[in-house]
Structure 1
Amino acid sequence: MDFNGCGFSDPQAQLSAALAKRNIREFQEALEMGAQPNLQDERHTSIFEKALSTAGCADFVEACLVHGCNINHINPKHNKAAISYATDSRDPSNLAVLLRRPGVQVDRKYGQLTPLNSLAKNVTADNVDQVRACMQLLLDYGASPNAIDQGERTPLHHVLQSNKIKAAKQELVLLFLAHPHLDIDTYRNGQVRQLLQQQYPDLQLPPQRECSADGEIDCDRLLRQLRDGDESQFEQLFAEHQLNISDKDNQRNVKQEQYLPLLLESIKRGKHRAFDAILSSGININRSTPSEQTVPAELAIIWGNWRALEKLLKHPELKLTPRSSLLNTVISRLEEPPLDDFCDHQRCFELLLGSEIIDINEVDASGQVPLYYAVKYRNTKAVQTLLRHGAYIGSRSQFDELAIQDMSPELLEKHFDSCITTNAQKAGVQNFEIIINYMNLMRQQRPGQQSGKMRTSQQLHDEMTPIAHMAKTKELRHLLQHPLISSFLFLKWHRLSVIFYINFLLYTFFTASIISHTLLKFHESEHTALTALTGLFTWIGIVYLIIRESIQFCMAPLSHFWSLTNLMEVALILLSILTRIESNYDKETQRILAVFTILLVALEFCLLVGSLPVLSISTHMLMLRAVSSSFIKSFGLYSIFVLTFSLCFYILFGKPQDQQQQEANSTTTQEKKEEDGDDFNSFSKPVEALIKTIVMLTGEFDAGDIKFDSFSTYFIFLLFVFFMTIVLFNLLNGLAVSDTQAIKAQAELNGAICRTNTLMRYEQVLTGRHGRTGFIVNSQPFRTICQRLMNIYPNYMSVPQISILPNDGNKVLIPMSDAFELKDLSNDKNKASFQPLATNAALEQQKKLLDPPLKLLPCCCSVLTGKCSQIDNRTVKLALSVLDQKSNAEQKRQREQITERRLENIEQKLEHLLNLLQERN
Structure 2
Amino acid sequence: MAMTSINIPSFFESPQNALLDAFNRRDLKTFKLALERLKADPNGIIDERLGVSIFKNILSEPNSEEYIKLCIEHGADLYETNKIDLRPPIFYAIDSFSPGNLEIFLKKFDRSEINAKYGDNNCLHLLVQSLKNDNFQQLSECIKILLLHGIDINSPDENSKTPFYYLLKQQSKIPKVSELIEFIVENHAVDLYTYRSEEMKKMFVTQNPHLDVPEKIEANLTLDFMLNLLNKENEGKFVKIFKDFKLKNSKNSNFDENCLKLVHEAVKIGSDEAIKVMQNEGIDCNKKLNEYVNTPQQLAASYGYYKILKLLINSNNVEPNLLHKILHASYQNSPSYSNKVDHQKCFEFALCYCDVNGQDDQGCTPLHYAARHRNHEAVVELLKRNSFIGAKNMFNETPIEDMKLETLEEALNERITLIQIPKEKDQKELKISIDLNFLIPPKEQDESESLEEISKNPELCPLISHPVIATFIFLKWKNLSPIFYTNFIMFSILMWSFIRYIIMCHSMEENERNESGWFWFFKLTSFLGIFALTLRETFQFVVSIYSGINYFRSPINIFEVFFIILALLSQILEHSIDEDHLRVLRAFTILCAAFEFLHLFGELPFLSISCNMVILQKVACTFLKSLLLYSILLISFALSFFILFGGDKTENEDEFTSFAYPGIAIIKTFVMLTGEFDAASLNLHSKSIYYCIMFMLFIFLVTIVIFNLLSAFAVDDTQKIKEKGELVDLCARIDVLRKYEKMIMGGLKSMSSVCKWLEEMVTIFPHSIADGIVYVQPNKGYLLTSITSYDSNSETTLEIDEEENEFGCLNGKIKIPKKSKCCIICNKLDVKIGKKLRNIIEERKEKQNKEMKDGKIFDEIRDLRNEIKELKNFLKVE
Q: Separation in 2 of the partners of 1:377 and 1:746?
A: 28
1:148 match = 155
Equivalent residue of 1:423, what SS? strand
Q: Which of 261, 268, 271 is 2:270 aligned to? A: 268
1:843 and 1:54, CA in 2 relative to 1: closer, same or farther beyond 3 A? Answer: closer
Query: Taking structure 1 as the reference length, what is the TM-score of the superposition?
Result: 0.70
Please tell me whether residue 405 in structure 1 is matched to residue 381 in structure 2.
no
- C-alpha spacing 1:830/1:287, structure 2 compared with 1 (3 Å): same
For 2:198 and 2:224, how far apart are their aligned partners in 1?
18
1:218-241 deviations in Å (ceiling 9; x for gaps): 45556677877786x866644444
- Residue identity matched to 1:419: T
Shift of the 541–22 alpha-carbon distance from structure 1 to 2, 3 Å rule, reads same
In the other structure, the counterpart of 2:676 is 700
Shift in CA distance, 500/95, structure 1 to aligned 2, threshold 3 Å: farther
CA RMSD for the aligned pairs?
Answer: 5.8
Indicate if the aligned counterparts of 1:325 and 1:362 stay in contact, CA closer than 8 A: no
What is the aligned counterpart of 1:870 among 827, 852, 873? 827
Matched, 1:797 2:804: no
CA deviation after TM superposition for structure 1 residue 611, in Å: 1.7
Partner Cα separation in structure 2 for residue 36 and residue 744 of structure 1 = 51
Tell me: CA distance 1:344–1:599, structure 2 relative to 1, closer, same or farther (3 Å): same
Q: Which residue of 1 aligns with 2:656?
A: 677
Is the contact between residue 543 and residue 747 of structure 2 (CA under 8 Å) also seen in structure 1? no
Task: For 1:13 and 1:897, locate their aligned partners in 2 and report how far apart those are by CA, in whole Å.
Answer: 28
Counterpart Cα distance in 2 of 1:428 and 1:473: 49
User: Pick from 461, 478, 493: which aligns with 1:494?
Assistant: 478
Q: Deviations over 1:478-510 (max 9, x none)?
A: 66163x433322211133445545654665476
Gaps of 5+ in 1: 445-455, 663-668, 768-773, 823-827, 837-841, 851-868, 915-921
2:319 aligns to what? Answer: 320
Alignment of 1:708-857 (within 5 A): 708=684, 709=687, 711=689, 713-715=691-693, 717-722=695-700, 724-737=702-715, 739-740=717-718, 747-763=725-741, 777=749, 780-781=752-753, 788-804=760-776, 812-817=784-789, 828=791, 846-850=821-825
Tell me, in whole angstroms, the C-alpha distance in 2 between the residues paired with 1:79 and 1:598.
90
Contact 1:511–1:601 under 8 Å retained in 2: yes
- Of residues 605, 611, 618 in structure 1, which corresponds to 2:610? 618
Q: Secondary structure at the match of 2:605?
A: coil
Match of 1:462 among 447, 456, 466: 447
Tell me if structure 2 keeps the 8 A contact 1:493–1:759.
Answer: yes
User: Which amino acid in 2 is paired with 1:42?
Assistant: I
Inter-partner Cα distance in structure 1 for 2:654 and 2:135: 114
| Match in the other structure for 1:42 | 46
- Aligned residue in 2 for 1:278: 278
Shift of 1:546: 1.9
Q: From the superposition, tell whether residues 562 and 64 of structure 1 become closer, same or farther in structure 2 (CA, over 3 Å).
A: farther
| 1:661-676 pair list within 5 angstroms | 672=651, 675-676=654-655
**Cα distance between partner residues in 2 of 1:900 and 1:25:** 39
In structure 2, C-alpha distance between the alignment counterparts of 1:720 and 1:427, rounded to whole Å: 84
- Superposed CA deviations along residues 185-232 of structure 1, whole A, max 9, x for unmatched, are 6653498777665555545787764448xxxx545556677877786x
The 1-side partners of 2:448 and 2:193 are apart by: 64
Q: How does 1:528-539 map to 2 (within 5 A)?
A: 534-535=526-527, 538-539=530-531
> Secondary structure at 1:419's aligned position in 2?
strand
TM-score, length-normalised on structure 2? Answer: 0.73
| 2:422 equivalent to 1:437 | no
**Aligned counterpart for 1:643 among listed residues 632, 640, 644:** 632
2:598 corresponds to 1:606: yes
Identical columns (%): 23
In the TM superposition, what is the alpha-carbon distance from 1:551 to its structure 2 partner? 0.5
Tell me, in whole angstroms, the C-alpha distance in 2 between the residues paired with 1:361 and 1:796: 23
Match of 1:919 in 2: none
In structure 2, relative to structure 1, the CA distance for the partners of 1:802 and 1:5 (3 Å cut) is closer
Cα 1:655–1:171 change in 2 (3 A) is: farther
The structural deviation recorded for 1:759 is 2.4
Equivalents in 2 of 1:337, 1:45: separation in Å? Answer: 24
Paired residues for 1:134-533 under 5 Å: 143=150, 148-150=155-157, 161-163=169-171, 169=177, 172-173=180-181, 175-176=183-184, 179=187, 182-184=189-191, 187-188=194-195, 189=197, 198-202=206-210, 209-211=217-219, 217-219=221-223, 237-244=241-248, 247=251, 253=256, 257=260, 260-261=263-264, 264=267, 268-271=270-273, 275-288=275-288, 293=294, 295-296=296-297, 299=300, 305-306=306-307, 312-313=312-313, 315=314, 317-325=316-324, 328=327, 339-340=338-339, 351=349, 355=352, 357-360=353-356, 367=364, 369=366, 373=370, 400-402=398-400, 404-407=403-406, 411=410, 414-415=413-414, 418-421=416-419, 423-424=421-422, 434-439=431-436, 441-443=438-440, 458-462=443-447, 465=450, 469=454, 473=458, 477=462, 480=465, 482=467, 484-497=468-481, 500-501=484-485, 503-504=487-488, 507-508=491-492, 511=495, 515=499, 526=510, 527=513
User: Contact (CA 8 Å) 2:42, 2:75: kept in 1 or not?
Assistant: yes
Rounded to whole Å, the distance in 2 between the matches of 1:72 and 1:113 is 19
* Aligned residue in 1 for 2:874: none
SS in 2 for 1:42: strand
Q: Distance in 2 between matches of 1:145 and 1:478?
A: 58
Answer whether contact 1:471 1:477 (CA < 8 A) is retained.
no
1:752: how far off? 2.8
Q: SS state of the match for residue 557, structure 1?
A: coil
**C-alpha displacement of 1:763:** 4.5
Q: How far apart, CA to CA, are the structure 2 residues paired with 1:23 and 1:388?
A: 52
Structure 1 range deviating more: 26-35 or 290-299: 290-299
- Distance between the aligned counterparts of 2:672 and 2:709, measured in 1? 16
Q: CA deviation at 1:545?
A: 0.7
* CA distance in 2: counterparts of 1:97 and 1:885, whole angstroms: 53
- Give the residue type in structure 1 aligned to 2:433: I
Provide the C-alpha distance between the structure 2 equivalents of 1:436 and 1:724, rounded to a whole number of angstroms. 59
Partner Cα separation in structure 2 for residue 99 and residue 42 of structure 1: 24
Mark the CA change 1:409 to 1:718 in structure 2 (over 3 Å): closer, same or farther.
Answer: farther
CA contact (8 A) 2:243 2:281 kept: no
Aligned CA distance change for structure 1 residues 514 and 365 (closer, same or farther; 3 Å): same
Q: How many angstroms apart in 2 are the aligned matches of 1:884 and 1:208?
A: 68
- Partners in 1 of 2:383 and 2:852 — Cα distance? 28
- Counterpart for residue 75 of structure 2: 69
Distance in structure 1 (CA, Å) of the matches to 2:579 and 2:105: 89
Aligned partners of 2:303 and 2:341 also within 8 Å: no
Report Cα offsets for 1:330-357 as digits up to 9, x if no partner.
Answer: 98799978834x888777666556x4x3
Partners of 1:688 and 1:121 lie apart in 2 by 110
Give the match's secondary structure for 1:488.
helix
What amino acid maps onto 1:751 in structure 2?
D
Identify if the C-alpha distance between structure 1 residues 122 and 389 changes in structure 2 by more than 3 Å, giving closer, same or farther: farther
One-letter amino acid of the structure 2 residue matched with residue 705 of structure 1? S
Q: How many equivalent pairs are there?
A: 822
Residue 816 of structure 1 aligns to a residue whose secondary structure is: strand
The gaps in structure 2 that reach 5 residues or longer are 515-519, 800-816, 872-878
CA contact (8 A) 1:61 1:97 kept: yes
Offset, 1:547: 1.9
Give the Å deviation of 1:542: 1.9
